Structure 1
Amino acid sequence: MTSPREASADTFDPVRTDAADVARVMGVDPERGLTSDEASARLAEHGPNELRSAVRSPLWRRVVAQFTDPLILLLVAAVVISLIAWIIEGAEGWPIDAIVIVAIILLNAALSLVQESRAERAVAALAVMTQAHSAVLRDGELHTVPSSDLVPGDVLVLAEGDQVGADARLFRANSLRVAEASLTGESEAVEKRVDTIDAKVPLGDRFDMVHKGTAVSRGTGRAIVTTTGMSTEMGAIATMLDETVEEPTPLQDEVAHLGRMLGRIVVIIAIVVMITVALVQGIGSPADLVTVLLLGVSLAVAAVPEGLPAILSLVLALGVQRMAKRNAVVKKLSSVETLGSASVICTDKTGTLTTNQMTIQRIVTASGTVDLGGVGYAPMGRATSKGLELGEGPLLAEAQIVIGVGSLANDAQLAERDGMWEIEGDPTEAAFLVAAGKLAGTAEEAAHYGRVGEVPFSSERKMMSTAHRHENGDLVVLSKGAPDVLLRHCTRLQVGTEIVPLDPVRRARCLADMEALSEEAFRTLGVAYRLAPELAATGGAPDAASFDESSEEGLVYAGVVGIIDPPRPEVRPAIAEAHAAGIRIIMITGDHPATASRIARDLGIIDEEGIALPGARIDGMDEHQLRDAVRTVSVFARVAPEHKLRIVDALQAEGQIVAMTGDGVNDAPALKSADIGIAMGIAGTEVTKEAAKMVLADDDFATIVHAVREGRVIFDNIRKFLRYLLYSNMGEVLTVFFGVVFAGVLGFTEAGGDGLVLPLLATQILWMNLVTDSGPALAMGVDPEIDDVMTRPPRGIHDRAIDSGMWIGIGTTGLVISVITLLTMDIFLPGGLIPGGTNSFDTARTAGFTTLVFAGLLTAFNARSATSSAFRALFANRWLWGAVVLAVLLQIAVVSLPPLQVAFSTQSLSLEHWLVCAGMASVVVWVEELRKLGIRMIEGRRADASAQAVPAG
């Protein structure tokens, strides 16, 4: 006999096979189920009904990963060079330079590891750690077993509220509806039946199957398990997830590029300067050779901002903490900035843009239309007609009857638990209970009725009816169902408090009302009723046997309701803000095109002319055609998981930085492939959270826009401290270079005595980079938003953090810093360009060192903006002021305290020295202010010219 595994994989398709044949192939008696022994044997053969979970990288691998960054490798190279120079010099004392750089490297690695571990714990805290169970027939008896123990051939017994534990073929279904949003994206519960499908159909249309990870919202059923674990549809998505390559983030690319670029610059500068020194001053002894090597190390130290990796990690970590307070949990530090770069946000509809809570928004009766406000299951909202509050009158009376009948002919329950409104049963039925709470008096009137009979819903009849007794003894039949079907059972119409004949004209109007609601993408349900005195037997007791389908004739048509999964109220303004920031929003959903288009229009994703592109069309497109489509289409409907992945890939091929949101298992592969995947923390599945780089703890789309703003601010701040660090470092490099080249002109050679004369020592350069530079740089990492970052388009995928404009600024500022530093030294030295000085070379070098530090600190205020004045929002960042003041105090200490004077080869300075240093350092501010003023004037002229070029009107 063919094994179930072989049969299901090679021989037959359970979707297109009769249920009896499925039972035969799977080797099971549907009425008794498997025996316990057979179930155990199959469990051993097929393994647990579980999805493979991602294997967490071991600690050692995660530690090693922290040292693969190009900037870190550059620092490692600096450590090696420093140690070589220290050994050549005689290995005396401690290699301070190497020790400090190693400390920075270790600090950076520790920060990254700690923050990523904290993010993992935050994500784990969001998960609901409960084991699912399933009801099965085994040995002819009903058993409840862990869903992980299900095997092919098991007979699932399904009831309302159950989680479906495996993919299974139905052979019995009674009013069965299954919520498949987590798998297909379909917002409405899907009606299931046992009929065999004779054609290949999409996952969302397989009405004879139930699938792992979905939930029974109504009715009962029995099904034969056909596949478990990774062989299920959910497993197929998990497999796709394993095969999806995770691309590096834009920030990782940028840092890698920066590391490579700085590496080349370091090598070039070191070689050029060492050759220059050898040619200009000569190398007359081994000591001179060691000095030249130390100079090479000092220039490497000067060119590379050693604190950059640690500062970058700290800034990102602080950004992660701020985002976590806004309910956005970022799992990886480098992903923080990616959101700020996002040019497209691809979003699922159900549960992300919408509440995933079916809601009655419209009631249409003979007297007009009632709109019900409020979203979700909270029974709160205004009832209006034509924008005005609904008052007493015929329309209110009709609406109360419609909602009252619908809430009585109902098997759902609505309850408030811990301040949250929850439902049990079919969401569509629950919508009537919610609406009853919004129409004053409706719920109270319904409380006077008790159910005494039922004709259940079936897919053939497309309606249901219940019999109820009023407290006064009256018996009524209450019906609801597909409006056009229900209308055929009606002979009269409710008009206010009166009942009139349902003539052809009125019937045609009712049909037109139904059609109008359908065209607006509402799901429609009709409601009708009638008094039923014939159901009362002798003595007034109900005669249940007499209540059947024949009782559903001669009904009074009350009206029709429009039901929809409504948009979250906070989403529309969030989308508007995203559009203003140049970010395109694309809806990708498994829902029907009409529903998707309606929601997209309501939210402002598309205009009235916009349409939804169905997944069936995507199947017929090659990659070039799909790339053409994603340029203009903003709504994709009825899509499968592989479609979502193709859409994301097509957008990325177009040069877009893509953020993808979702909550269902079907979203996971696209989330992993996107530049940043965003999972819903409440409604999201564990598979989705594992694939995502960010998790929304509140499932609020608006949180994404807040995160985008935060990401843009973080990138701005990264540019600020990069600008500051490179301003200072370029000043240091040019000071050493020009100080060596023009040593004779500036009087250094004469004052410095025999041997090589260097304007700065390696220890002094290291002091500036690691002590005075790092504090202000870190403070700029938390600089508040000065300009509105959401009024400009996202940066392009090829835009660099350090662009040509910034390089010009870095070169200009570095040149100014080097000139004022060398001139300060010249002022205090005899000879040179500025005669009259009387100080020693060590004192002049200390003054130059101090001027360089002060100038660097002042550039921190320049670096806060590429174009705005340093005096704009001057006191907005108290951390920056604190860092600058602390750095000044440290510089005073290193110049004035004897132990530090020995360590850093400094001399005490007089008040005159300090004043000259401060005055010379301030020049860098005024030069930069003039440069920025010129930039603003040029940009202003361009803006005026652009405005004049636009035709009026």
Structure 2
Amino acid sequence: MTRLKTDSIVVGRNESLTCAESGVADINADERSQSLPWNDASLIGIAELVCGLGTDLNRGLSSEEAFARLRADGPNELRAVLPVAAWRRALAQLHSPLIYLLVAAAAIALAAWWFEGQGHDGVAAWPLDAIVIVCVILLNASIGWLQDAKATQAVAALAKMTIATSTVLRDGALTRVSNTELVKGDLLVLAEGDAVGADARVAQSSALMVLEASLTGESEAVLKDAALLQGAVALGDRLNMVFKGTAVAQGTGRAIVTATGMQTEVGAIATLLECTQDAPTPLQIEIAYLGKVLGVSVLLISCVVVAIALLISETYSVASVMKVLLMGVSLAVAAVPEGLPAILSVVLAMGVRRMALRHAIVKQLASVETLGSASVIATDKTGTLTRGEMTLQRVMTASGRSDITGVGYAPDGRAERGGIPLTAGILRDELEAVLDAGSLAGNAQLRRDDAGVWAIQGDPTDAAFLVAQYKLKAGAGTTGIDRLERIGEIPFTSHRKMMSVLVADRSNDAAHLLFTKGAPDVLLAHCSHVRRGRATVPLDKTLRSQLVSDVETMAGDALRTLAVSYRKLSPGAQVPADRVQAAALEQNLEYIGAVGIIDPPRIEAAQAIAQASHAGIRVIMITGDHPRTALRVAVDLGIVAIDAPVLTGIEIDALEDADFAVAALTTSVFARVAPSHKLRIVRALQNAGNVVAMTGDGVNDAPALKAADIGVAMGVTGTEVTKEAARMILTDDNFATIVMAVREGRGVLDNICKFLRYLLSSNLAEVLTVFIGLVAAGIIGLKDAASASDSTVVLPLLATQILWINLVTDSGPALALGVDPIDEEVMARTPRARTQRIIDAGMLRSVIETGVVMALLTLATLDLFLPGGLIEPIDLLASQNPFSLEVARTAAFTVLVFTQLFNCFNARSETKSALRGAFSNRWLLVAVLVSLLLQIVVVNDTSLNLAFGTVPMSIAQWSTCVVIASGVLWFSEARKFVRRLHTSFTGLTPKP
């Protein structure tokens, strides 16, 4: 057990306390730690905390004690997500009802092949249909696995491989250790540029400013000090705490580690992330539903057809029963679109590839379609909608207002007044004085790297003055007044709300100047004069009122306001060590002016939001920033009107679930929210039927990203936790890329609908051809053909012919439809509702109508080429090739193939003519041509005639097949014409 020490310790503002003086008994450390309110160390006094953790502010922990605690508590790291084994990722690709259906079809086909072999001598040597189905399944799994592996590699490439370290005080000496080795009680020594390695209670600070955007969403650096909080506050307002994953922007400090690993605030978010389940995408739900429906349908149809065949059969020999069962299997194969999973994977993979070329990495294939269905984009503000670069936009001096154009840290812009470049004069003199003073009274640096990219080191607000100064001086390359040299500083504190620097003028040894920057209301109280041009005038009541009004106007525009002033001091002046005496220098100041600073919105984000709105997508902002700042950015980007409501985290907590559900649908700006609030917002939107895309870059966004239908992480500024939780990563951190991805997703969804429309109608035509042909065998002449061939049951099509259609004729055109050009009007339509099925009533009606027409045309051909049916044979057709069952089957087989090829062009739209843009998809033309040539080969090649039961046909017979098959095209054109008339009268938005 570690005994507590009673050595004197330094806390807060040079206060000295001992354990005895603070009322903390000299007790066992473990017993003491159990009695402290560790859920919020911000409410614990420094002396009490030091005694409770058994540490020392002058020496820190001993190396032995740190090692013992590390061994007891474990390393300071988040619970790692175990990598999924390659074989598990491969099996995951087979987890689909449609795949299960194909496996069952392959098994049945294999069993039928084996049983047929028991009763027939001429059985095929190989179960071709079963083998092909298995190949399709493996192809689908391979495509999905390869895409998953690519996405994993891309995400890994984005991760930073550096090992974070921290400076700690151990054994009375400063040492650098890996963040994973930090333990409770360690004394962190913080300096500008350091990453905070663990949650810690600030014990000492000097102008310590910490960037917490990744955790809280707050865009501005937060001032930290050791003052004890009087009550529980939100995470972003715990000013005496620093948190793991944040960064020091300015100043120095020391902090006592109070939580490590999963006990940190980041760890709490990681725990919340673990409890958040990945939601299936709308496409996954739809494909699962389709697989179940097809499975039931196949079973019912096969059973009904087999039962009818047995009922109408006149004999019940083993051979005839086996033939009927084989027919049932072939019908099951015909009803299942074997190529659908593979085609779906290929189409999605192509969409993923196109998106990757445009800076969007999709980790899951089905997420491409999800983007197309998105009805709400819930986005973070800082770094996503805004640049994450504090920019000085406005300056108010005694002579009026000046504006600084340009955004970000690149010093591209100019000084203006009323849109006109600012020229030499009083106002420009005042502006230059403001920017010079503000740049001197700061600690940031502005640099340009070898790639020409501008970056800062230090506090972003200080950097804003430097950038504006560069712009005013037209890129003169100065970061301050070169002749002035800093010789002292009075640091910023939350109590004083200002800082000062003492500089010496090297061109005049007798001149010393004090520049002060701080909150305008505080600074004005220390001023007695004001600068006007290059002159100094007394600060009377009227002028003071004007300056206050100027500041209030900027604050009302959601600008962060700061004021600057200066004072001439006597030669040789120095900053006293005593802070009270130092503060005396900050009196009788000369007010120079005030500035308005903001994290500017991205220009491209405003354009993307306008496009999203046009596409019927609602954009909402969810941020941890101040409500007024959030509203200003939302208004500038066109998300809401200026009088729109803003809901804060505290207000969200006060709402019941029913009231919050209403608020989530009517509020588009949420501010000062915690990770749990973001998660609640996403779920409320989903419960209302929305498909939610959630964007973000901070750790605080991760749980909501995982719960959303598709989480979108920022690849450049995003944390690794966020990237792990997201389903898509933007490599350019550009909100506009999301809208591009939505357009791509909608295009993929349209194409999925096209090839589904094509495949399902084709498969239905095959099923109906066999079913109606069997039931109506006597009407179309098949019964007579059966009698002539001494058989009890004759099928309209052979199993091998059906398999040929499914594998060759269907696959190529369907895949070509999957890469059809995106419709120009795709972003003018409203999003697909979560409850709306891909195969809706309209598509189902289209599939049934087209399938019926294709089957009837096929059966009509069979009747035409057989004697004894409804249609009298044409002698001209039999002049070169006499009619027979083989010729009739070949003609019907060919017509069914040709109707599907004509139907390729029909399936491109439910309303637009197939002739419109018929040549815009070259891949479809190639696929149709290849399918046509293959059909000619399978009919005319003697080596294939035996395998597929075909015979060569004459030119007249070929021509007749083409004419009959074209009927499906003219039927579809008539139906689309009627639908266009209907939509024009009703005003409804037509489908693609």
Match of 1:241 among 242, 259, 273: 273
Instruction: String of CA shifts for 1:330-368, please: whole Å, max 9, x gaps.
Output: 111111111111111111111111111111111111222
Question: Residues 798-947 of structure 1 correspond to what in structure 2 (within 5 A)?
Answer: 798-837=835-874, 838-943=882-987
Structure 1 length as normaliser, TM-score? 0.96
Distance 1:786 1:760 in 2: 38
Contact preservation (8 Å) 1:723, 1:863: yes
Q: 1:257 to 1:519 in 2, by over 3 A?
A: same
Post-superposition offset of 1:544: 8.1
Q: Is 1:448 paired with 2:483?
A: yes
Contact preservation (8 Å) 1:648, 1:673: yes
Q: Is 1:715 paired with 2:749?
A: yes
Contact preservation (8 Å) 2:310, 2:321: no
Contact preservation (8 Å) 2:624, 2:674: yes
Distance 1:478 1:859 in 2: 79
Contact preservation (8 Å) 1:4, 1:152: no
Q: What's the counterpart of residue 500 of structure 1?
A: 537
Distance 1:669 1:356 in 2: 22
Post-superposition offset of 1:8: 5.4
Q: What's the counterpart of residue 568 of structure 1?
A: 602
Q: What's the counterpart of residue 430 of structure 1?
A: 463
Distance 1:705 1:10 in 2: 52
Equivalences, count: 941
Contact preservation (8 Å) 2:112, 2:326: yes
Distance 2:416 2:947 in 1: 80
Contact preservation (8 Å) 1:535, 1:543: no
Distance 2:164 2:28 in 1: 27
Distance 1:784 1:393 in 2: 59
Aligned-pair identity in percent equals 55
Match of 1:733 among 753, 762, 767: 767
Instruction: String of CA shifts for 1:826-884, please: whole Å, max 9, x gaps.
Output: 22223322223541111111111111111101101000001111011111111111111
Question: Residues 381-780 of structure 1 correspond to what in structure 2 (within 5 A)?
Answer: 381-417=413-449, 418-440=451-473, 444=478, 446-473=481-508, 474-532=511-569, 534-536=570-572, 548-752=582-786, 753-755=789-791, 756-780=793-817
Distance 2:501 2:237 in 1: 30
Post-superposition offset of 1:499: 2.3
Distance 1:703 1:409 in 2: 39
Q: Secondary structure at the match of 2:183?
A: coil
Post-superposition offset of 1:3: 7.8
Residue 568 of structure 1 aligns with an amino acid whose one-letter code is R
Instruction: String of CA shifts for 1:458-504, please: whole Å, max 9, x gaps.
Output: 22222122233345314332221111111122222222233222111
Q: Secondary structure at the match of 2:729?
A: strand
Contact preservation (8 Å) 1:824, 1:851: yes
Q: Secondary structure at the match of 1:773?
A: helix
Distance 1:740 1:213 in 2: 71
Distance 1:59 1:123 in 2: 16
Residue 98 of structure 2 aligns with an amino acid whose one-letter code is L
Stretch moving more, 850-859 or 493-502: 493-502
Distance 1:476 1:200 in 2: 42
Q: Secondary structure at the match of 2:780?
A: coil
Q: 1:685 to 1:856 in 2, by over 3 A?
A: same
Distance 2:54 2:560 in 1: 41
Match of 1:73 among 100, 103, 116: 100
Residue 879 of structure 1 aligns with an amino acid whose one-letter code is W
Stretch moving more, 87-96 or 234-243: 87-96
Post-superposition offset of 1:288: 1.6
Distance 2:631 2:73 in 1: 43
Post-superposition offset of 1:657: 1.1
Q: What's the counterpart of residue 100 of structure 1?
A: 132
Structure 2 length as normaliser, TM-score? 0.93
Residue 722 of structure 2 aligns with an amino acid whose one-letter code is T
Post-superposition offset of 1:662: 0.9
Q: Secondary structure at the match of 1:677?
A: strand
Contact preservation (8 Å) 1:452, 1:544: no
Residue 905 of structure 1 aligns with an amino acid whose one-letter code is G
Q: Secondary structure at the match of 2:60?
A: coil
Q: 1:230 to 1:9 in 2, by over 3 A?
A: farther
Q: Secondary structure at the match of 1:89?
A: helix
Residue 60 of structure 1 aligns with an amino acid whose one-letter code is W
Q: 1:3 to 1:609 in 2, by over 3 A?
A: farther
Distance 2:988 2:770 in 1: 44
Post-superposition offset of 1:7: 5.7
- Calculate the aligned-residue CA RMSD, in Å: 1.9
Post-superposition offset of 1:636: 0.9
Instruction: String of CA shifts for 1:414-433, please: whole Å, max 9, x gaps.
Output: 10112211111111101111
Distance 1:408 1:197 in 2: 32
Q: Is 1:34 paired with 2:61?
A: yes
Stretch moving more, 406-415 or 550-559: 550-559
Q: What's the counterpart of residue 151 of structure 1?
A: 183
Residue 75 of structure 1 aligns with an amino acid whose one-letter code is L
Post-superposition offset of 1:283: 4.5
Distance 2:963 2:461 in 1: 76
Instruction: String of CA shifts for 1:127-183, please: whole Å, max 9, x gaps.
Output: 111110000011110000000000111111000110110111111011111111111
Q: What's the counterpart of residue 264 of structure 2?
A: 232
Post-superposition offset of 1:769: 0.8
Post-superposition offset of 1:372: 1.7
Contact preservation (8 Å) 2:36, 2:52: no
Q: Which runs of 5+ in 2 are unaligned?
A: 2-26, 875-881
Q: Is 1:338 paired with 2:370?
A: yes
Contact preservation (8 Å) 2:906, 2:969: yes
Residue 818 of structure 1 aligns with an amino acid whose one-letter code is A
Q: What's the counterpart of residue 950 of structure 1?
A: none
Instruction: String of CA shifts for 1:380-416, please: whole Å, max 9, x gaps.
Output: 1232222223233322221111111111222110101
Contact preservation (8 Å) 2:415, 2:422: yes
Post-superposition offset of 1:797: 0.9
Q: 1:185 to 1:545 in 2, by over 3 A?
A: closer
Match of 2:336 among 304, 313, 316: 304
Contact preservation (8 Å) 2:152, 2:363: yes
Contact preservation (8 Å) 2:747, 2:823: no
Contact preservation (8 Å) 1:536, 1:543: no
Residue 472 of structure 2 aligns with an amino acid whose one-letter code is L
Q: What's the counterpart of residue 54 of structure 1?
A: 81
Q: 1:133 to 1:931 in 2, by over 3 A?
A: same
Distance 1:8 1:867 in 2: 72
Residue 452 of structure 1 aligns with an amino acid whose one-letter code is I
Stretch moving more, 434-443 or 623-632: 434-443
Instruction: String of CA shifts for 1:663-700, please: whole Å, max 9, x gaps.
Output: 11111111111111111111111111111111111111
Q: Secondary structure at the match of 2:536?
A: strand
Instruction: String of CA shifts for 1:508-541, please: whole Å, max 9, x gaps.
Output: 1001111111111111110112333x1247xxxx
Q: 1:9 to 1:722 in 2, by over 3 A?
A: farther
Q: Which runs of 5+ in 1 are unaligned?
A: 947-953
Post-superposition offset of 1:4: 6.7
Instruction: String of CA shifts for 1:190-233, please: whole Å, max 9, x gaps.
Output: 11110111211111111111111111111111111111000111
